Structure 1
Amino acid sequence: MRALTFLVISCPCALVISIPLTFFGGIGGASKCGILVKGGNYLEALSKTGVAVFDKTGTLTKGVFKVTHTAPVDGVSEKDLLESAALAESFSSHPISKSLREACPDLDARRASDAQEIAGHGVKTQVDGHTVLAGNARLMESEGITYTAAEGAGTIVYVARDGQFLGSILISDEEKPTAKAAMQGLQAQGVRTVMLTGDTPAVAELVAKDLGIDEVHAGLLPADKVEWVEKLLGQKPAKKELAFVGDGINDAPVLMRADIGIAMGALGSDAAIEAADVVLMDDDPAKISLAMRISRKCMTIAYQNIVFALAIKALCLILTALGITNMWWGVFADVGVMVLAVLNATRMLNVKQYQ
């Protein structure tokens, strides 16, 4: 009887059932808050996050651009400048391209053809038989076009036609209302924040200063972002993980390379969502710090169950070996401890969105 009691107590049901259930509860609790975690290993990794790297457009900002200023050169009308840019961008799905089309809503897209998107530069399109370029300063320089540099709190789009500079267009974005709270929440948890963006340094510095981001690197191509993430991975503290937060198709390689990839699920591209380990269904960056709190709570409950189950079983095994306990103690140490551990694990289903 003592041997049978010893055998019942040593059954690992409490650990085998409660630990996976804790992670399932964590994933379920996170999903109730609009956070899709694709596996328990990613939930555990979130609890170890030491560096959070962000894209800017569509991640920390709304990605809803509007034309706020135009600067055509002498001899070019504002209408001609906007129409040329809008037609050149008519085949692109980029938020900046959408804002240009919204500024000229009645254009006939059939006037444009042979559009070429040049990654990190802009577009090159045939409009009414003329070659029109619309993009950043790097595009003008690569095509050997003399242009007048412009400044402003936003993205500058330079436009040229048949090698002649037509002018520049200022397009401004708006920060997400919870972006600053997201940075404060992460920094309160000891997470270092970094922003990597293809936007101009002036705009990037302005946004980073306003949101309180620790470090910013601007004017980056998609390949440059991967290089910076590689550097940051080498610099991160020991036993800490690096999370990258992005939304666009250009962010997919970085999302794959980071320890934890977090994508925006509402406005984010399919490629980014597929590559990510965690998806924020409502594009709220403040949910990142919430996801980390959920993951830390999940790990705390998992460790509680492990310590509780092993401690009770060890005590009962010793008492049984000495002949002090009977089979009823064995049942408690097996089924009773399992039930208590499962009840503790169900606490993960109750998550307050903002604590």
Structure 2
Amino acid sequence: MEHNHNNEQAKDLQLDQLEKITDKNEEHQHSADDGHNHGAEEPGWKAHWDLLLALAILIVLLVLEYGFHIELPNIPSLIINLIAYILAGRSVLNLAFRKSKRGDFFNEFVLMSVATIGAFIIGEYEEGVAVMVFYQIGEWFQDAAVNNAKKNIKALLDIRPDEVTVLRNGQATVINPSAIELGESIQVKPGEKVALDGELLSENASFNTAALTGESKPDTKYKGEAIYAGMINLNTVSEVKVTALFKDSKLSKILEMVQDATARKSQTQLFISRFAKVYTPIVFFLALAVCLVPYLIVDDYVFTTWFYRALVFLVISCPCALVVSIPLGYFGGIGLASRNGILFKGGNFLDVMTKINTVVMDKTGTLTKGVFKVQQVVPNNISKEELVKLTSALEQNSTHPIAKAVTEYAGTAKDNVKVEGVEEISGHGLKGSVEGKEVLAGNLKLLKKFGINYPEELEQEVNTIVVVAVNNAYAGYITIADEVKEDAKQAIEEMHKLNIQTVMLSGDKQSVVNQVAKSIGIDKAFGDLLPEGKVEKVQQLKNEGRRIAFAGDGVNDAPVVALADAGIAMGGLGSDATIETADIVIQNDQPSKIVSAIKIGKITRNIVWQNIILAMVVKIIVLILGAGGVATLWEAVIADVGVALLAILNAVRIQKIKV
């Protein structure tokens, strides 16, 4: 039970951290010590009975005055309105007082307090109450938006199971997944979520991987294949051998990425935060000027008239619509991407993707499946069996997809073969001693590096080949075939529709690269590249002024991913190093998701700027009308709350969009 309790505490802490990103800004947070924990509880009517009572009193007073033309005497009217005002505004008044004590005078709480108290001073009781009531209604809707965002993240956090069935000494025991050790076997029943990453021990099983990849289509796994935490077992009871601790699972990394993403602000968010800090004090002094400056230039100056205009100016100048809706907009973009199997590591990368004009992609594992099969074995002065045995024995020390293809083809031929001194030569291949023979296995560059002659016709071979040398003599080659991903061509076509240049980089030979590029319509393709060669190509494109997104999946892609304006890791088969370095992770390895990432960035940017323009235009118009005596406090509060609500609804709309 203690494990479960700790796990719930961890989730609560994560939710508290996530909630901060939807607070209006650092200066605008309703912290617990202020007594107003914004969005801490469900925004139902029971939590706002005092506001509803104040609204009811205001409606009754307005019906009496404007419906039945009954005006209460001044003192009873003041008392009743004061009761409604305190019911609606006590939390705002409390926050204004606390912040003022700390020397923070320029914030929305002080602004609302000054405006509404000022309305009471000049006898506009109902208008003072109305400003506070409608301001608090706006806050209510903001709370609802924050809570909705929290629910979406809580749903993501809840996909991590709190219990797991472990098989120990032939007995099934239910414990917390954090207590499971590497190598132990866990049991997953139909309908249960896998709690830890592992290797399937059962013959086969079908899983729902939507939580990890955004793909709802069932995925059948076979014995020995990787299983990840967050998958849901669909049919039979399955056994899984644990290969990663709870804290190191792919799901834990995904959740960590989402949490980190909420903390990284976009340039637009940072600008609005800085803008609000400067904007609010300017508004205070402008309101003061609206009240006092006319005394020097207007002949029939009446203090109450200009004081009222200053109050209107204060109310409409409140920056709520900007500082709430913009973080919500970016949060919505990150949420939309997550549901589509795309992880943005921050709102800033949503902005970056809108400026991308060149997408550079690795070939193997990004545009092709990276699932290689041996097509042909061509020996030279050696038997076919011997060539396969020597090559596979050396290649079993590599995790490269081509090496795996060779070892799978060899079967048991590589077993019990003595291999020593294996050395990986980056971008070339492997070198080592196999049964006392010096063996080289890799690409043609490897043989060139060691000065070993080979038939010239190998340069024209279209398929990927592994060339082999034994004791410094050419010994033959093995051809390997890869397959282009189903959606690769569609992805390239979609990028071209967005006026994005496409480039493919590969360590594979140029003839193979050209063939793949032609089949899917890539603009430019470069082969025979070492890792540093990929870096040089990307740097050249950057020097030409291109804004680059690079997508790759291998360890050797990590330097290029880091160099690009936006690094994209194809995360389903991708290496941890590339995922850690990347700014965006495509969880299901589909190249078409790169297009989705660009579209989501553009959708988010458009909605955020719609909110900024809407808020600024309406506020400027009403500010001018208020200073000119045309707009009243009624118009000011309706415009302020109305714009805030429209902006929030517009921001929330992102989460419903399909890409």
Short-chain TM bin: over 0.9
Greater Rg by CA: 2
CA contact (8 A) 1:82 1:104 kept: yes
1:142 aligns with 2:449: yes
1:18-56 deviation line (CA, Å, top 9, x unaligned): 111111111110111001111111101101110111110
- Confirm or deny that 1:298 pairs with 2:604: yes
- Does residue 38 of the first structure (1) align with residue 345 of the second (2)? yes
Question: Is 2:378 the partner of 1:71?
Answer: yes
1:310 aligns with 2:612: no
Q: State the Cα distance separating 1:177 from its structure 2 match.
A: 0.4
Residue 234 of structure 1 corresponds to 543
For residues 262-289 of structure 1, give each alpha carbon's deviation from its aligned partner in whole angstroms, at most 9, with x where no partner exists.
1101101111111111110000000111
1:17 is aligned, of 309, 324, 334, to: 324
From 122, 127, 135, the counterpart of 2:434: 127
Question: Are the counterparts in 1 of residues 417 and 435 from structure 2 also a CA contact under 8 Å?
Answer: no
Aligned partner of 2:474 among 165, 187, 198: 165
Shift of 1:154: 2.1
CA distance in 2, matches of 1:350, 1:154: 45
Which of structures 1 and 2 has the larger relative contact order (alpha carbons within 8 angstroms, sep 6+)? 1
1:335 is aligned to 641
Equivalent residue for 2:514? 205
TM-score by length of 2: 0.52
Q: C-alpha distance in 2, partners of 1:181/1:297?
A: 21
Which residue of 2 is the match for residue 274 of structure 1?
A: 580
297-306 or 184-193, larger mean C-alpha shift: 297-306
SS of 1:102 mapped into structure 2: helix
Alignment-mate amino acid for residue 541 of structure 2? L
Q: SS at 1:98's partner residue? A: helix
Q: Which structure 1 residue ranges, 5 or more long, are not aligned?
A: none
Is residue 93 from structure 1 mapped to residue 402 from structure 2 by the alignment? no
Aligned residue among 255, 258, 279 for 2:564: 258
Q: Partner residue of 2:368?
A: 61
Alignment partner, residue 531 of structure 2: 222
Q: d(CA) in 2 for partners of 1:95 and 1:85? A: 14
Q: Aligned-pair distance for 1:215? A: 0.6
Q: What is the Cα deviation at residue 126 of structure 1?
A: 1.5
More strand by share: 1
Match of 2:415 among 104, 108, 115: 108
CA distance in 2, matches of 1:154, 1:345: 50
Question: How much has 1:109 moved relative to structure 2?
Answer: 5.5
In the aligned structure 2, how far is the partner of 1:79 from the partner of 1:256? 43
- Stretches of structure 2 that go unaligned for 5 or more consecutive residues are 1-307
Alpha-carbon distance in 2 for matches of 1:351, 1:82: 53
Superposition deviation, residue 61 in structure 1: 0.3
Alignment partners' CA distance in 1, 2:520 and 2:420:
40
Q: Does the residue aligned with 1:92 lie in a helix, a strand or coil?
A: coil
Shift of 1:110: 5.4
Structure number with the higher helix fraction is 2
Candidates 497, 502, 507, aligned match of 1:188: 497
Deviations 1:85-122 (A, max 9, x none): 10111110000110010011212255222211000110
Shift of 1:351: 2.9
Looking at structure 2, the residues matched to 352 and 284 of structure 1 have their Cα atoms a distance apart, in angstroms, of 17
> How many angstroms does 1:343 deviate by?
0.1
Could you tell me how far 1:70 is from its partner in structure 2?
1.2
Whole-Å separation in 1 of the counterparts to 2:350 and 2:645: 24
Q: Distance in 2 between matches of 1:82 and 1:342?
A: 64
